[in-house]
Amino acid sequence: MMTETGFPTLPQGHKRFSVEQLLIEVAPELGIRPGALQALLHMMKRTKPDHWTSPDREPVFFAAQDETAAALGKSRRSLFNIEKRLEELGLIEKRVKGNGQRSAIGDCGIVFSRLIALVPDLLRLAEHLKTERKEHKALRNRRSTYVRYIKQRLPEDAVSAQGAIGAVLEAFQAWPRADALSRLSNEQLEAHVNDAQALCTTLDEICDLHHDSSGKPAQNFPCFIQENNQKIHLVNCNVPIDKRNAGKPAPDKFKSPPPVGSGDCLEKNNGAAAVARNTQFLSRLKPDHLFRLASKDMQAMISQCAGGSSDLREFHFLDAAERMCANLGINHSAWVQAVQTMGQASAMIAVLLLDANRDHPTAPVHNVGGALRAMTRRFRGGGLNLVGSLIGLSRRRGL
Tell whether 129 is covered by a domain. Answer: no
In terms of pLDDT, which residue wins out, 311 or 161? 311
CATH number at residue 72: 1.10.10.10
Judge if 112 and 73 occupy the same domain.
Answer: yes
Rounded to a whole number of angstroms, the distance between the first and last alpha carbons of the chain is 72
352-375 mean pLDDT? 90
* Domain-located, residue 84: yes
Asked whether residue 146 is assigned to any structural domain, the reply reads no
Together in a domain, 268 and 282: yes
Radius of gyration of the chain (CA): 32
Q: What's the confidence (pLDDT) of residue 1?
A: 44
Q: Are residues 207 and 276 in the same domain?
A: no
22-59, pLDDT tens digit by residue?
A: 999 999 999 999 999 999 999 999 999 999 999 999 99
Region 242-254 average pLDDT: 39
Q: Is residue 249 part of a domain?
A: no
Given pLDDT bands bounded at 50, 70 and 90, which one contains residue 162?
A: low
- pLDDT given for residue 282 in this prediction: 55
Do 303 and 330 have their domain in common?
A: yes
pLDDT greater than 80 at residue 317: yes
pLDDT of residue 159: 60
Percent of the chain at pLDDT exceeding 90? 42
Report if residue 211 sits inside a domain.
Answer: yes
Assigned domain for 169 exists: yes
**How many structural domains does the chain have?**
3
Using CA of residue 165, residue 169, residue 175, residue 177, what is the dihedral sign?
positive
Nearest Cα residue to 223 out of 394, 343, 379:
343
Clarify whether residues 320 and 194 are in a common domain.
no
Question: 233 and 200 in one domain?
Answer: no
Question: Which is more confident, 251 or 131?
Answer: 131
Domain edge (last residue) among 191, 220, 249: 220
Residue (of 260, 238, 236, 241) closest to 251 by Cα position: 241
Nearest to 197 by CA among 301, 315, 299: 315
pLDDT in tens, 178-223: 989 999 999 999 999 999 988 988 888 887 666 544 434 444 444 4
Which of 105-114, 265-274, 365-374 comes out lowest in average pLDDT? 265-274
How far apart, in Å, are the Cα atoms of 31 and each of 72, 132, 391?
Answer: 20, 18, 57
> What is the spatial order of strands in the sheet that 60-61 belongs to?
60-61, 109-111, 93-95
Helical spans, DSSP H, in the chain: 16-30, 34-45, 65-72, 76-88, 113-153, 163-173, 186-213, 223-229, 266-284, 287-293, 296-305, 314-328, 332-342, 344-356, 368-380, 386-397
**Cα-to-chain-centroid distance, residue 266:** 44
Whether the per-residue pLDDT at 71 is higher than 90: the answer is yes
Q: Which domain holds residue 166?
A: 154-220
Same-domain check for residues 293 and 373: yes
- Do 206 and 345 sit in the same domain of this protein? no
Q: Is residue 233 domain-shared with residue 312, that is, in the same domain?
A: yes
Question: Is 139 among the domain residues?
Answer: no
Residues 234 and 366 in one domain: yes
Mean pLDDT of 216-236: 42
Q: Give the highest mean pLDDT range of 79-93, 257-271, 336-350.
A: 79-93
Each as own residue / partner, the long-range contacts of residues 76-80 (CB below 8 Å, 24 or more positions apart, any chain) are 78/35, 79/39
Least confident segment among 89-98, 258-267, 303-312:
258-267
* 264, 382: one domain: yes
pTM tops 0.75, yes or no: no
Q: Are 232 and 207 members of one domain?
A: no
Query: Is the model's pLDDT at 110 over the cut of 90?
Result: yes
pLDDT at position 158? 63
Per-residue model confidence (pLDDT) at position 266: 39
Q: What confidence category does residue 98 fall into, taking pLDDT thresholds of 50, 70 and 90?
A: low
Query: What average pLDDT does the chain have?
Result: 80
